[in-house]
Amino acid sequence: FDAGLCLALDGSRSDRLKGGRTTLETVKEACADTLAGAKIAATLARGLARPFFSVDRKKAKLVEAAKADPAGALKLTAAALKAVKAESAMNLDYHMLARQRAEIYLALGKKADAKKEIRSMRGDLAKRGVNAPVLVAIESYEKSLA
């Protein structure tokens, strides 16, 4: 139950879902080179890339319970990127993960790395015969990172 809830809540780092996150991390490691492993890694990375807030019931106030860890999110998605990059049937997943990683690079202030991530993905997708309008949209996004 907690693993599913953690997925549904986009990789939430709530203490109440710690067991679910642990289960997902175990599955991610066991299935690192599969689409399932890649999707789990991407979801956990989204939760890791942003700060997590919770309610301090004693103070009746929202507090930052965990800081964002964009570098950790990039590390978490490295194997996932290899998995989706290797399979032409995973073009959409590759596109989404590359954009996610580009956004993380931007959060780290690494605009050149963000552009490189998108450029590499666009080149790979072009070689796979992805439709021209999709490639134009990706190129437009890449240029917007300038």
45: burial class by Cβ within 10 Å (0-12, 13-18, 19+)?
A: buried
Question: 47-79: per-residue pLDDT in tens?
Answer: 999 999 999 888 889 999 999 999 999 999 998
- Residue 53 bridge partners (DSSP): 64
Task: Report the chain's mean pLDDT, rounded to a whole number.
Answer: 91
- Residue 61 bridge partners (DSSP): 56
Question: 78-98: per-residue pLDDT in tens?
Answer: 988 998 998 888 899 999 999
Contact between 48 and 6 under an 8 Å Cβ cutoff? The reply is no
The C-alpha R_g of the chain, in whole angstroms, comes to: 17
Question: What pLDDT score was predicted for residue 32?
Answer: 81
Question: 6-26: per-residue pLDDT in tens?
Answer: 888 878 888 888 899 889 989
